[in-house]
Amino acid sequence: KAGVTQTPRYLIKTRGQQVTLSCSPISGHRSVSWYQQTPGQGLQFLFEYFSETQRNKGNFPGRFSGRQFSNSRSEMNVSTLELGDSALYLCASSRSEDTGELFFGEGSRLTVL
């Protein structure tokens, strides 16, 4: 059974650009969550999608957005990139909407220059 797949694994952008990250959840998982991981802030919750609807959102500015498609695949977008957006972005899928057990991908490491 394939795990959570995130693309791209690594990318470099410059300030002001935008970026789109993709996440394919485990087959049958309908919930997808996104996290930002940085050395200083740890794992910060961005948002969670279920059946194409954003159900929960963390405390990030509007530059951070996401969506989920009918096949449960999800994308997140960061516009007007800032140096502080450099981080490992982790996607996690969940089998059940009740338990919250998360299965993580390897992440997309974004560097903003």
Partner 1 sequence: AQKVTQAQTEISVVEKEDVTLDCVYETRDTTYYLFWYKQPPSGELVFLIRRNSFDEQNEISGRYSWNFQKSTSSFNFTITASQVVDSAVYFCALSGPGGSGGFKTIFGAGTRLFVKA
Q: Is 88 in the site for partner 1 (CB under 8 A)?
A: yes
Beta carbons within 8 Å of 95's beta carbon, 6+ residues apart:
26, 28, 29, 101, 103
**Nearer to partner 1 (CB atom), residue 45 or residue 60:** 45
Using CB under 8 A as the binding rule, the residues of this chain from 40 to 59 that contact partner 1 are 42-43, 45, 48, 50, 54-56
Token pair for 97:
């909407």
DSSP state of 112: E
Q: Is 105 in the site for partner 1 (CB under 8 A)?
A: yes
Q: How far is the CB of 7 from partner 1 (least distance, A)?
A: 15
Residue type (1 letter), 26? I
**Nearer to partner 1 (CB atom), residue 16 or residue 41:** 41
- Which part of the chain contacts partner 1 (CB under 8 A), choosing from 16-24, 60-68, 72-80, 94-102? 94-102
Burial of 6 (0-12, 13-18, 19+ CB in 10 A): buried
Query: By the 8 A CB rule, do 38 and 87 touch?
Result: yes
Q: Contacts with partner 1: how many residues (CB under 8 A)?
A: 25
Q: Is 102 in the site for partner 1 (CB under 8 A)?
A: yes
